[in-house]
Structure 1
């Protein structure tokens, strides 16, 4: 590839400047990669924490629900469930983390259905299950947001790493090879010119000597 480069002093100067610029760009990309990794470790740790909390919450919901089913009967529970219309609403927006757009999700608590039964009419386990599920909603939404954030950061990290790999494997070798090629050609020309000048001096010297004789 470097053989197609025109071996001139101007090109040598330009290629050296471009090489310095590319080296700076690579350093910035490496810094970005380190920051993205730091963010990912932080969010991954938070995700694991919230995930475990959601698991614990859902276990409680499931246990209360099973006890309610045993007490009320599955047909009564299903009848209550089918009488309710889906009403949960969430709002989403975008925030920027170190140049990466990530989604934010917020649950509208006013859209959580009110309890469609009284504690007197039904098993207390059903009320307990409802309250625990209501508490779990926010954690679940937070978990979804964290997962989306991690996905966005991982995607950006992969793009950054691909750019670094491209610089390391293709761009830097091209410029370094081109600079080496141009330097070699210019040095060869300089040596040839020096040898030519030496020969010319000898010829002129001999002529002077012959003329004086």
Structure 2
């Protein structure tokens, strides 16, 4: 059904054809953006699985080491409080087709236990080292998971816009183009018929005048 606000004029036909061309271009750009984002996301999904598996194993190893340290030293919560707060994490962003993807950088610090050597042993040192590894892997996993989330959200939006252009906007423009074209052609046929009638009447009148 043609838009009631579209009047069948040559100016509107030209404008609608231009809008239709822009809509097709927009659809192609949205589809291209979606495909690029999908490729980017698929490249990260394998990393997510590997990182999760690795971090799960490292967590298990770290907690086992912590249990052994607790068994040999007693409760070590006081020693844990001696570990300083880590401030070596920095966030920056890169753009992929307009999507801001986080880039986490971690200033890896030299492992220096702060709890005093006289109160520790190798089991506690090993637990500390394991949890340090967990922290470093968590930074990488957080970056990848957040990137996947942002990409997936952008893909959904791009798909929604592409579908709207393909299934609603473009068909409406093309329907309106047909409506205007048909109306203009009908108007031309009517004008041609009118001119023929005028010419025939004029010719008849001229013949009568000659007689």
Q: If the length of structure 2 is used for normalisation, what is the TM-score?
A: 0.88
1:63-82 paired onto structure 2 within 5 Å: 63-73=64-74, 75=75, 77-82=76-81
Q: 1:113 and 1:5, CA in 2 relative to 1: closer, same or farther beyond 3 A?
A: farther
Post-superposition Cα deviations, 1:140-183, rounded to whole Å, max 9, x if no partner, equal 10001111211221222222222212312432133112212211
Residue 104 (structure 1) shift: 1.5
1:21-100 paired onto structure 2 within 5 Å: 21-73=22-74, 75=75, 77-100=76-99
CA distance in 2, matches of 1:17, 1:98: 25
Select 2:174's aligned residue among 165, 173, 176. 176
Q: If the length of structure 1 is used for normalisation, what is the TM-score?
A: 0.87
Q: Count residues in correspondence.
A: 210
* Alpha carbons 1:88, 1:111 under 8 Å: kept: no
CA distance in 2, matches of 1:30, 1:210: 69
RMSD: 2.2
1:79-158 paired onto structure 2 within 5 Å: 79-110=78-109, 114-118=113-117, 121-158=119-156
Q: For 1:86, what is the secondary structure of its paired residue?
A: coil
* Alpha carbons 2:55, 2:138 under 8 Å: kept: yes
* Alpha carbons 2:83, 2:113 under 8 Å: kept: no
Match of 1:193 in 2: 191
* Alpha carbons 1:33, 1:160 under 8 Å: kept: yes
* Alpha carbons 2:82, 2:114 under 8 Å: kept: no
Q: Which runs of at least 4 in structure 1 moved beyond 4 Å after TM superposition?
A: none
Unaligned runs of 5+ in 2: none
Post-superposition Cα deviations, 1:23-47, rounded to whole Å, max 9, x if no partner, equal 1121111011101000010011111
Q: Could you tell which deviates more after superposition, 181-190 or 96-105?
A: 96-105
CA distance in 2, matches of 1:198, 1:209: 16
Post-superposition Cα deviations, 1:106-152, rounded to whole Å, max 9, x if no partner, equal 2222386635243x753432221111112222111000111121122
CA distance in 1, matches of 2:43, 2:67: 36
Residue 198 (structure 1) shift: 2.3
CA distance in 1, matches of 2:37, 2:175: 32
Post-superposition Cα deviations, 1:51-81, rounded to whole Å, max 9, x if no partner, equal 11111111110111122222222x2x11211
